Amino acid sequence: MTTTTTTPAVTAVPTRGREGPRPRGRAALFILPAAALLLVFFFYPIATIVWRSFTEPHAGLGNYTALLHDGVSVKVLVRTLVTALIVAVSTLLIAYPYAYAMTKVGARARGVLTVIVLLPFWTSLMARNFAWYMLEQRGGPIERFLGAIGFDGVVLLGTVAGVALAMVQVMLPFMVLPLYSGMEGIDRRLLDAAGSLGAPRWRAFARVYVPLSVPGMLSGFSLVFIMTLGFYITPALLGSPQQSLISQVIGDRVSRLLDFGGAGALGSVLLTVTLLVLFAVSRFAGSSRALGKAVGND
């Protein structure tokens, strides 16, 4: 991946020398449609939502202070953050060995493993959610299985656990793929070098391989964490009003109470949290990526 991105840059140098600065302006032109689209359909609506959160029904911070006192918003926000954290960590734990295996096997097996990861991608999200609905409902396979091994009456449908379980499955590709592309670039000779210096295999893995895979982990983790924070369909189908997540509460505010200001305030809080997470990750990733580059590529 790193090599493919650098190659065009290298070949581009003589072209630029021949034609002068014009391609640069042309490149800006290429970005224009996408930028215009974003401006109209993304930044403008978001700006409107944020604006309304400060102006409706009254100007000021009323909507935000109300969030602190309504008895739901803070609780639901914390619940959503915890759920997103659990989903991201669980996905990481499941995806890590899988992505590792993908780097170890032959080309054909890797192809099969990739298809298995992508299969859920190609299946309708609704179909998958309804499949989980059937699995998790009262009298469904999960309850019967848990009953058989001694846990009676565990119904996941309508609980945060049930939502998290389904989200882990939905999010798995978003974790496996960044992890794999990160691990693929790790020079395995470094492990041999560690071994030749006397490190047992597990220590070489823990001290050399795992730190080198941190950029992939961070990328997958933040992707899954952020997507889980704002996920709507899965909680709406598998969750319940008693254990609702923030997206449902925002949806309810808009459609039941027509409270665009309050919903906008909740949305803005969610957006801020998301940006903070992105910022933290990019800071953290910046330092570890420098490490990865220094060790891995040279």
Partner 1 sequence: MRLNTGIRTRAIAAGLAVTTAAACSIGSPSAGSDSLTFVSTGSPFQDYQKQAWQDPFTAQTKLKIRNDGPVDEAKMRTMVEAKKVTWDVVDTSAAAAEQYCGKYVEKLDFSVIDQSVFPKGTVGQCGVPAYFYSLIFMFDKKKYASNQPKTIADFFDVKKFPGRRIVPPEIAVGLLEAALLADGVPRDKLYPLDLDRAFRKLEPIKKVTTFAKTYGQMQQMLVDRQVDMGLVLSARAYQALKAGAPFEPVWDKTIVNWDDLVVPKDAPNKEQAMKFIAFASKAKPSADLAALASVQPINENITPNYNEVQQRVNPFTPDRRASVVRSDSAWWGKNFDRVTARYTAWLAG
| Shortest separation between residue 272's beta carbon and partner 1, angstroms | 14
- Stretches 108-116, 192-200, 204-212, 217-225: which one binds partner 1 (CB under 8 A)? 217-225
Cα separation, 100 vs 91, in Å, equals 14
| Shortest separation between residue 96's beta carbon and partner 1, angstroms | 16
Distance of alpha carbon 169 from its chain centroid, rounded? 12
> Cβ of 270: how many Cβ atoms within 10 Å?
19
User: Quick check: 237 and 167 in contact, CB under 8 A?
Assistant: no
Residue in 19, 70, 184, 192 binding partner 1, rule: CB under 8 A: 70
- Least Cα distance to 230 among 259, 262, 272 occurs for 272
Segment 170 to 189, residues that bind partner 1, using CB under 8 A: 174, 178, 181-182
CB closer to partner 1, 137 vs 199? 137
Residue 2 within binding range of partner 1, rule CB under 8 A: yes
DSSP character at residue 240: -
- Stretches 80-88, 159-167, 200-208, 257-265: which one binds partner 1 (CB under 8 A)? 257-265
Cα separation, 173 vs 185, in Å, equals 19
Residue in 26, 138, 188, 201 binding partner 1, rule: CB under 8 A: 138
Q: Which H, E and C letters describe 84-135, residue by residue?
A: HHHHHHHHHHHHHHHHHHHHHCCHHHHHHHHHHHHHHHHCCHHHHHHHHHHH
Segment 94 to 133, residues that bind partner 1, using CB under 8 A: none
**Helices 73-104 and 260-296, packing angle to 10 deg:** 30
Residue 57 within binding range of partner 1, rule CB under 8 A: no
Residue in 86, 128, 252, 295 binding partner 1, rule: CB under 8 A: 252
Give the number of residues in contact with partner 1, rule: CB under 8 A.
Answer: 50
CB closer to partner 1, 67 vs 194? 67
Q: What is the dihedral of CA 203, 209, 211, 217, to 10 degrees?
A: -130
| Shortest separation between residue 215's beta carbon and partner 1, angstroms | 6
Residue 215 within binding range of partner 1, rule CB under 8 A: yes
> Cβ of 216: how many Cβ atoms within 10 Å?
26
Q: What is the dihedral of CA 85, 222, 176, 102, to 10 degrees?
A: -110
Q: Which residues bind partner 1 (CB under 8 A)?
A: 1-2, 5, 37-38, 41-42, 45, 70-72, 75-76, 137-139, 158, 174, 178, 181-182, 215-216, 218-219, 222-223, 226-227, 236, 240-244, 249, 252, 254-260, 274, 278, 281-282, 285, 289
